[in-house]
Amino acid sequence: MTSLFLSEIIHARMKDSPDDLAYTFSTSSDITEAVTYGELFSECRRIALILQELTQDEDIILIAVSPSLNYIKLIYACILANRIFLPTFPIKSRHDMARIESLLQKIPVRLVIHDSRIEEAILGDHFHHTPIKLIKDILNTHPKDVALLPINYHPERPIFLQASSGTTHFPKVV
């Protein structure tokens, strides 16, 4: 049996069964969102193009987004764009900002994508060396170039980094 990369599996599912349900996400307020494989791949491809415009190959993108279908789309888009994602908690307080700021001091993050309601000016003061984008701005942007750059599969290359909770104020990254 041949091993496939995650991006190849997503693409194969989109080609073989684009109308099949890929994910269903239920929020705490009983709102359910669903996406088919075709919709998922199309949206992830569009977001991947935007990420390719904003960052370079194998750059690290910190994702500070609440659990949602958009979170899943960002993860797949990073994989399609050949970017390394660092998932973290959503930014809800100054304490969260301090924890992420500590991560940014240790990791060469090139972009922070978040869904925080905290004012951009306050976030900019904390993350002044790293570009910050609201997820809604990423989702509402249309890529300049509609041709997805080629993806070079490197099995030895990580697709994501995982950080500890940072409760010691010295987060560890694996």
pLDDT in tens, 1-28: 566 777 777 778 888 999 999 988 887 7
| Residue whose structure tokens are 């069964």 | 17
Please state which of the ranges 41-45, 110-114, 125-129 shows the lowest mean pLDDT: 125-129
Helices (H), 89-149: 94-106, 120-126, 135-139
For residue 28, how many other CB atoms are within 10 A of its CB? Answer: 6
Higher local confidence (pLDDT), 112 or 165: 112
CB distance 134 to 117 below 8 Å: no
Strand partners, 173: 163
Q: What are phi and psi of 23, to 5 degrees?
A: -145, 150
Banded pLDDT at 147 (limits 50, 70, 90): low
State pTM to two decimals: 0.81
Domain spans, the chain: 6-139
Task: Supply the CATH classification number for the domain 6-139.
Answer: 3.40.50.980
Alpha-carbon gap, residue 14 to 171, rounded angstroms: 37
Distances, alpha carbon 34 to alpha carbons 26, 27, 45, in Å: 9, 11, 18
Render pLDDT for 40-77 as a digit per residue (tens, 0 to 9): 988 888 898 899 888 988 889 989 888 889 899 999 89
Q: Which of 62, 98, 63 is nearest to 170 (CA)?
A: 98
